[in-house]
Amino acid sequence: MYRTETLTETLPLAELTRRFRNPEKFIAYCRECGRYGHCWACPPYEFDPSEVLAGYTVAWIAGIRIIPDEALRNRLATPEEATEAGREMLARVRAAVDPQLLAIERKHPGSRAFFAGTCFACPEGTCTRHKGIPCRHPDRVRPSLEAFGFDIGAISSELLHNELKWSRDGQLPEYFTLVSALFCAESGDTGTFTLTAQNPIP
């Protein structure tokens, strides 16, 4: 069905912020999304993200490249099938990677995980935020880098040397990329951080 590759980079958070953070620009994109203000992982927040970032000094960036195989491409007869296949691949990889990020976070007190995209803790459309009810799974919810104003496209291309690809004309792209991160208070063991996205049986 697909195979994956993992790309990583570590750098000072101050450098990441200086080069790739523009909250005004990227939060404006968030406002155009239906999840803005309706999902606990998404802005606006009850805290200042800049103050949160001030507690960390090192950024570990991880990109998972998801490469559909030719057999899958040949099975997809319609744009709708391609869209559904893409969603399924992204969801499977997130289901494998997100728990690993949380496990690393628990193992390294003073670190904070950032997931690649929106929250999957609850079924689509069932987040309690729009009802003013506290999150059901605060231990499993983490923001994305975009939600804190970071430019994922530039991070992927300049740090991971990996251009983001998108579906076009109802066809799967050459590959998808999920960009996650861990921010740490100290450099510590970032060199030992690893993520694996197990490839499914075709």
Pairing of strands 111-114, 58-68: unpaired
Q: Taking a C-beta distance cutoff of 8 angstroms, is the pair 175, 66 a contact?
A: yes
Q: Indicate the helix (H) or strand (E) that contains 65.
A: strand 58-68
Residue 168: CB atoms within 10 Å: 8
Q: Which pLDDT belongs to residue 200?
A: 47
**What pLDDT, in 10s, does the model give residues 15-52?**
999 999 999 999 999 999 999 999 999 999 999 999 99
At 45, is the secondary structure helix, strand, or coil?
Answer: coil
pLDDT at 111 over 80: yes
Q: Which pLDDT belongs to residue 188?
A: 67
With 0-12 / 13-18 / 19 or more C-beta atoms within 10 angstroms meaning exposed / middle / buried, residue 18 is exposed
Rounded mean pLDDT, 60-89: 90
Stated pTM of the model: 0.92
Q: Which pLDDT belongs to residue 186?
A: 82
Q: Taking a C-beta distance cutoff of 8 angstroms, is the pair 191, 10 a contact?
A: yes
